Chain A
Amino acid sequence: MSLFRSEQMEFYNLVIPRESAWDVMNTLGYFDSVHLIDYDPTLPQINRPFSNYVKRCDDVLQKIELIDGEMRNYKIEKIYCPNIKDLLEKRNGGHKQFEELEQDVCKVADDLEHQQQTLNNLQEKKNIIRENLEVLRNAVAFQNEDSEEASLLGFQKMVGVILKEDELRFKRIIFRITKGNIHVEIMDIQEHFIQQDKRIVQKCVFMLFYPCGDLTQKKIQRVIESFSCNKFDIPTSQEQHTQRITSLENQLNEADQLVQWTITQINQRLRSLAEVKYNCSWIEEMRILVTKEQYLYMNLNRLNMTNSVFHGQIWLPQGQDQKIQQALRDLHGNDKQLPSGQIQECQTQLTPPTYYKLNTFTYPFQEIVNTYGIPRYKEINPGLSTIITFPFLVGVMFGDVGHGLLLFVCGLYLTSEDAKKSIFAGLVPVRYMILLIGFFAAYNGLIYNDFLSIGLNLFGSCYQLIDGEYELQEDCVYKFGIDPAWGSSANQLTFMNSFKMKLAVIIGVTHMTFGIILKGFNTLHFNNYIDFFCEFIPQSLLLICSFGYMDFLLFLKWTTKYENTNDAPSVITTMIDMVLKPFDIPDKPLFESGEQQRFIQLLLLSIIVLCVPVMLITKPLIFSLSKKNISYQQLASQVPDDNIIHEQLQHDMQKDLSQPQSRVSIQQHHEHDDISELVVHQSIETIEFVLGSVSNTASYLRLWALSLAHSQLAEVFFSMTIAGHIGQGGFFGTIGSIVQYPGFALATLGVLMCMDLMECFLHALRLQWVEFQSKFYKADGYLFKAYSFKNIKNNEPED
C-alpha cells in the first residue's frame, strides 16, 4: 500500500568523525533512502566547511566542459555512460581520488591548451606569411610604368595589411593627415583570415604613394601603427622580388604542414580522450566522477561541523536503518582503528517528508497530484485513485471508439523500445497515461456508440425500419451502449444530451462522494474524531441527501417506463420543488405515490438543513469549551515546535522591549487568534462546501459539454469532407472521397486528436484538482529528496 499513504519515516541523528566523513557519505550515497536536513538553510554556501572543494569540482567541471567543447569542434563522437552506479562502484578510489582526478583533468586540459596555443601561434605566423605574400603579389601589379614614374618623381611608397572593416577610416585619416597629397590603393585579399580569438576576418592590402618628406612619413608611420597592422618591405629589384615570393611560398607550405600536423595531433589527443575505458568515454567518466564528488561535498556541507565531528539529521524510510547501520559497520572492514559514522534514532517535532516509491506506471499520475501540492505526511494520496479516475474522466469527454483506439495504439507505440529514440521521446514518461486514456475513450465511445461520429450496429439494433418508420421490437434491449438506431432519429441530439448530462452528474456525485469518504478515512487515521463527526458525517450526509438523492431519482426515472413521455415527471422540477415547496404533494410523482415522495423529501431536506449548523458551529464550540479548561502555560508547552520558533522570531525582533512582557502579550495574542481564526476558518469551509456542492456538481457538466463538442466536431468534419462522396458512390464518389480524405485525416488528427485531447485533459485536470481534491486533500507536505548518487545524470542530450 505504499502509494495509498506515504512511507513511514524515522528521524535519525547522524554523527560522523571527520576522518571518515567522505567514506560514510560515499556509502550513504548508494542507498536511495537518506533525506539529509540542511542544518541552516540560510547559511551561504561559501561559509560552509567544504565550499572550497565544491569550488574546485566546479573548476574541474569547467575544464571538462572546455575539453568537451573542443571535442565537439573536432566532431569526435563519445560514448555516454549507460550505467552510472556501476561505474561509480568500479571507480571508487576513496577520498583521495578526487585529487588524482583533478590532476588528470588539469593535465589534459593544460596540454590541450598548450597545443591550442601552439596552433594559434602557428596560424598567426601563417597569417603573417600570407599577408606578406599577398603584399608582394599585389605589389607586382603596381610595378608598372606609373610607379616607375612616381619613384622618379620622388614619391615613396609604403605597403601593409589592414582589416577590411578599417578601410574607410584608414583612407580618411590618411587623407586628412596629408591633406590629400597621397595616393592610396587598396586591394582585398580574397581568402579569409582566422584571428586568434577564432574570429574570421577579411583583410586588405594597402599601398601608399606619398611625396618625400620626413614629417609626412613620421605621421603616416604613426597612423599605420595605430591601426596595429603589419608593414612589409618591398624589394627593389624584380629579381629579389620573385625570390622573396618563392621563399615565402615555401615558408607558407611549411607553416601549413605544421598547422596540419598540430591539428592531427590535437585530433589524436582528443580521440584518445573519447576512448572507452570502463564502459564509456574517458571524458564522460571524468565528468561523472567529478560530479559525484561535488554532489557528495555539497551534501556534506549540509551537516554541522563541531570539533572535527559532523552532526546531521536525516530522515529514513522505515526498515532502512538496519541496512545502513550494517553498511556503516562494514565500512572499514576489519580495521577497527578507524572510527565510522553512526546513526541514532531520536524523537523530533519536525514534520517528516512525504515519500512514495514510484515506478514508470505510477509516475505521471503522482506528478499530476504533486503539481497541485505535495501530500501531507501520511495523508491519503489522491495519486492512487487518480490512476483510474483521471483517464476515465478524460475518456468520458473524449468518448469515441475510433479516436480512443487510435490513442490506444499511440500509447502502445510509446511503450515500445523504438519510441525512446523517436521524436516522441518526450511523451515516453506519460505513455501509460496515454494508453489508459485511449482505453477509456474507446470504452466510453462504445457506451455512446460513436465511431468517428457513426453508430456501430454491433449487437443488432432493437429497432426495425418498417415503411420508413422505426419500430421498437418487443422485449428487446440493446446489449451495450446506445442503440445505433438513435443515430437516424430526429431527436438524437436531444436524447444524447439528456443522457450525457445525467451521466455527467452521476459520475460527478460519485467522484465527490468518494473524495468525502477519503476525508473520513483521513480523519480516522489521524484520530481526529472531532473532524470525523463534525465535518465528515454532515458533509457526506449533505451531499448524499441532496445530489445523491437526485442521482437516485435519475435511476428511478430510467427504470420506469412511461407510456406517454409527456407525462413523465421532470427531475429538475422535482428537485426545485423539494426545496421551494417542501410541504406540497407533487402532482407528477416519481415514486408510486406523491405522499411517499413528500415524506422522503421532507426527511432528506431536514437532514440537509440540520447538517449546516453542525458543520458550522460544533467544531469551534468544542474547541472553545476544551480550551477554557487549559491554562496558558500548559497550552504553550503543548503547542509544538512551530509555536516556539514563532516565539523565538518575535523575541528576536523585539529584543529591546522588556522580555517577559512581550512574551506574555504574544501568547495572549496567539490564544485570541486561535479561536477567532477557527471560527472564521470554519465558516468559510462550511459556506464553501455548501455552495460548492451545488457549483461543483454543475461543474461536472463539463463532461457532457466536452463530449458533445467532441462528437459534434467529429460529425462536422466527417460530413463536410468525405460523407457526401461516400454516399454518392461509384467512380466519382471514390475519386471525390480520395481527394477529400487528406482534409478529413488532418482535421481529425490536428483538431480532434491533438487540440481536443488537450482540452479534455485540462478539464479533467480541473475536475481532479478542484472538484475532487478540495474535498479532502491538504497538500501541505514536502517531498522526500534522497541523497543518492542516482541523481547524477550523464548529460546525454537525448535524455
Chain B
Amino acid sequence: MDLCVFGVDDGYAEAIIRGLRASFLTEAQYQQMKNCASIPELKSFLEETDYQNCLQADNPQIPTSILRQRLKKKLADEFEYIEAQSTGILTKYLFHLRCRFMIDNVVNMIEGLKNKIDIEILLSNIDPLGWFPEIKNIKVLEGDDYSSLYRDVLIDTPIGVYFMKFLEESIENLHENRTLNDIQNLFREMKPEYIRTSLKKMWLEDFYSFCESELMPTSQEALLELLKFEADFKTVQVIYNSIGNRDLNTAAKIITTRKQLCPTIGNLYPDCEKVYLQAMTLDALREAVKGCDNYRDLLKDAPDPLKREEFNVQTKTLDDIMYDDECRRYALSFDGQGSYGVFYAYLKLKEQEIRNIIWLAEMISRKLAKNHPGWKKIIIPFSHLGK
C-alpha cells in the first residue's frame, strides 16, 4: 500500500537522491585517483568529477582538512536542498539524521574547548551537516560543568534531550550518597569520547523508536534492519574496544561501562546480552555473537585487541571490516524502492566516499609507495553489487 502513495509526498525528494546516485565516484575513477602523484593533481582530478564546483575557488595545494571541509559542505548543501524539498514525516526523519552530526559537533567543540583550542578554529572545523545556531554558544562552557552547559545552551537544541538523558544516567550511576563534589569529579574525569559514544547510543535508540512508530511499513522494514546492524556493530565495537583497555581495570567497571554504552536494540540485544557483557577475550566475543547473521565471519579476521601495540597501517582493523560490510548493506538499501532507507544510505555512502578521498589525499601527501598496503584500504560504495 505505501508503495502506491510513497510518491505523493516523497517522490520528488527520492527522485533527487536517485539522480545524485550518478555523482558517486566509480571504481575506475578511484583507480585514477590512486595514480595521482600530488595533491594539486588530485584536486584537478576531482574538478572533473561532481566535486568540481566546490573546489574551484581553492588554491591547488589544498590541505586535507580544507578538502574534507569542502567535500562535506557539498554533501551538506545537497542534504539541505533535499530537506527543503521534503514534507511531513520525511522532514522529521531527515532532521533526525542530522542529529548524529550535531552530536559529533558538540562533542568536538567540548573536546576542543577543554584542550584550549581557539574557538574560531573549532568553528571552522565543524561538520556543516550538523550545524545549528547554538553551536557558537558552547563557548559558554566553564571547566567541566556539563550540566550548566546543558542548562544554558543545549536545552533548546535538538540534541538537548540526549544530553539530558546522558547527564541523568551518569549521575544515577553514582553511589547513593553522592555529593556535589562527586559529580564534579565524575565530569572532570569523563572523556569526550565516552560522551560521544553514549550520546550516539541514545540517538540510535531514539531514532530506532522514531522509525518504528512513525514510518510506513516499507521504510520501517529497510531502516530497522539497517539500524539493528548498526546497533550490533556498535555493541561489538564497544566490547571489542573495552577488551584489554587499561582505563577499565576492574571487571565490574568494564561491565557497567559496557552496559551503559551498548545500545538496547539490535539483533544481539537482549538474547546475547549476558554473554557479551562478560566476554573478556576476542574469542569469547566471537562465541557470543556467533548466533547472528554473518557476525562470526566478520570477527574472524579482526585482529586481537590485546595485541593493540602491534597494529600498524597495514592491519585491517575491526572498523575497516565493519565499514566494508556496512557499505554493502547501504548500497543494497539504496537500491530499495519506496523507502526512506535510500536517504540514510545516501548519507552513509557519501560519508564513506569522502572518507575514501581524504584517505587517498593523505596517502598522496605522504608520498607513500604505490605498493603500500594502505592504498587498498578504501571501500568503494556500490562496488559490492557487481559481485
Asked if A646 is at the interface (CB within 8 A of a chain B CB), the reply is no
Q: Is the CB of B48 within 8 A of A45?
A: yes
Asked if A735 is at the interface (CB within 8 A of a chain B CB), the reply is no
State how many angstroms separate the Cβ of A38 from the closest Cβ of chain B.
Answer: 17
State how many angstroms separate the Cβ of A106 from the closest Cβ of chain B.
Answer: 14
Asked if A525 is at the interface (CB within 8 A of a chain B CB), the reply is no
Q: Is the CB of A173 within 8 A of B137?
A: yes
Q: Is the CB of A223 within 8 A of B151?
A: no
Of A24-32, A145-153, A224-232, A752-760, the one touching chain B: A224-232
- CB < 8 Å neighbour of B136 from A45, A55, A228: A228
What residues of B have a CB within 8 angstroms of the CB of A670 in the complex?
A: none
Q: Is the CB of B140 within 8 A of A227?
A: no
Q: Is the CB of A169 within 8 A of B133?
A: yes
Asked if A688 is at the interface (CB within 8 A of a chain B CB), the reply is no
- CB < 8 Å neighbour of A176 from B32, B45, B119, B152: B152
Q: Is the CB of B140 within 8 A of A219?
A: yes
Q: Interface code A176-197, partner B: CB below 8 Å = 1, 0 otherwise?
A: 1100000000000000000000
Q: Is the CB of A227 within 8 A of B137?
A: yes
Number of interface residues of A (CB under 8 A): 18
What residues of A have a CB within 8 angstroms of the CB of B153 in the complex?
A: 173
Asked if A172 is at the interface (CB within 8 A of a chain B CB), the reply is yes
Asked if B155 is at the interface (CB within 8 A of a chain A CB), the reply is yes
Q: Interface code A204-228, partner B: CB below 8 Å = 1, 0 otherwise?
A: 0000000000000001001101111
Max chain B Cβ within 10 angstroms of own Cβ: one of A62, A222, A226, A227: A226
State how many angstroms separate the Cβ of B48 from the closest Cβ of chain A.
Answer: 6
- Per the bound structure, the CA–CA distance linking A766 and B298 in Å amounts to 61
Q: Is the CB of A226 within 8 A of B137?
A: yes
Contacts A222-B140, A225-B139; is A169 near B156 (CB within 8 Å)? yes
Number of interface residues of B (CB under 8 A): 19
Q: Is the CB of B139 within 8 A of A226?
A: yes
- Per the bound structure, the CA–CA distance linking A575 and B323 in Å amounts to 75
Q: Is the CB of A44 within 8 A of B48?
A: yes
State how many angstroms separate the Cβ of A713 from the closest Cβ of chain B.
Answer: 38
- Per the bound structure, the CA–CA distance linking A276 and B155 in Å amounts to 62
What residues of B have a CB within 8 angstroms of the CB of A46 in the complex?
A: 44-45, 48
Asked if B134 is at the interface (CB within 8 A of a chain A CB), the reply is yes
Q: Interface code A122-158, partner B: CB below 8 Å = 1, 0 otherwise?
A: 0000000000000000000000000000000000000
Q: Interface code B137-153, partner A: CB below 8 Å = 1, 0 otherwise?
A: 11110100000000111
What residues of A have a CB within 8 angstroms of the CB of B32 in the complex?
A: 44
What residues of B have a CB within 8 angstroms of the CB of A367 in the complex?
A: none
- CB < 8 Å neighbour of A62 from B44, B56, B134, B156: B56
State how many angstroms separate the Cβ of A356 from the closest Cβ of chain B.
Answer: 34
Q: Is the CB of A173 within 8 A of B48?
A: no
Q: Is the CB of B48 within 8 A of A172?
A: no
State how many angstroms separate the Cβ of A161 from the closest Cβ of chain B.
Answer: 16
State how many angstroms separate the Cβ of A545 from the closest Cβ of chain B.
Answer: 55
- CB < 8 Å neighbour of B134 from A45, A169, A228: A169
Asked if A104 is at the interface (CB within 8 A of a chain B CB), the reply is no
- Per the bound structure, the CA–CA distance linking A226 and B137 in Å amounts to 5
Contacts A44-B32, A46-B48, A169-B133; is A223 near B140 (CB within 8 Å)? yes
What residues of B have a CB within 8 angstroms of the CB of A225 in the complex?
A: 139
State how many angstroms separate the Cβ of B35 from the closest Cβ of chain A.
Answer: 10
- Per the bound structure, the CA–CA distance linking A223 and B156 in Å amounts to 15
- Per the bound structure, the CA–CA distance linking A378 and B137 in Å amounts to 75
What residues of B have a CB within 8 angstroms of the CB of A55 in the complex?
A: 44
A168 closest partner in B (C-beta): B156
What residues of B have a CB within 8 angstroms of the CB of A166 in the complex?
A: 133
State how many angstroms separate the Cβ of B143 from the closest Cβ of chain A.
Answer: 12
State how many angstroms separate the Cβ of A224 from the closest Cβ of chain B.
Answer: 10
Contacts A44-B48, A45-B48, A46-B44; is A176 near B151 (CB within 8 Å)? yes
Q: Interface code B29-46, partner A: CB below 8 Å = 1, 0 otherwise?
A: 000100000000000110
What residues of A have a CB within 8 angstroms of the CB of B48 in the complex?
A: 44-46
What residues of A have a CB within 8 angstroms of the CB of B44 in the complex?
A: 46, 55
What residues of A have a CB within 8 angstroms of the CB of B155 in the complex?
A: 176
- Per the bound structure, the CA–CA distance linking A45 and B32 in Å amounts to 13
Known: A169-B156, A172-B156, A226-B119. 9 other contacts (CB 8 A): A44-B48, A169-B133, A169-B134, A176-B152, A176-B155, A177-B152, A219-B140, A219-B142, A226-B138
Chain B contact residues, CB within 8 Å of chain A: 32, 44-45, 48, 56, 119, 133-134, 136-140, 142, 151-153, 155-156
Please give me the 7 A-B residue pairs with the lowest Cβ-Cβ distance, nearest first: A226-B139, A226-B137, A176-B152, A222-B140, A177-B152, A226-B136, A223-B140
Chain A contact residues, CB within 8 Å of chain B: 44-46, 55, 62, 166, 169, 172-173, 176-177, 219, 222-223, 225-228
18 A-B pairs, CB-CB below 8 angstroms? A44-B32, A55-B44, A166-B133, A169-B133, A172-B156, A173-B140, A173-B152, A173-B153, A176-B151, A176-B152, A177-B152, A219-B142, A222-B142, A225-B139, A226-B139, A226-B140, A227-B136, A227-B137
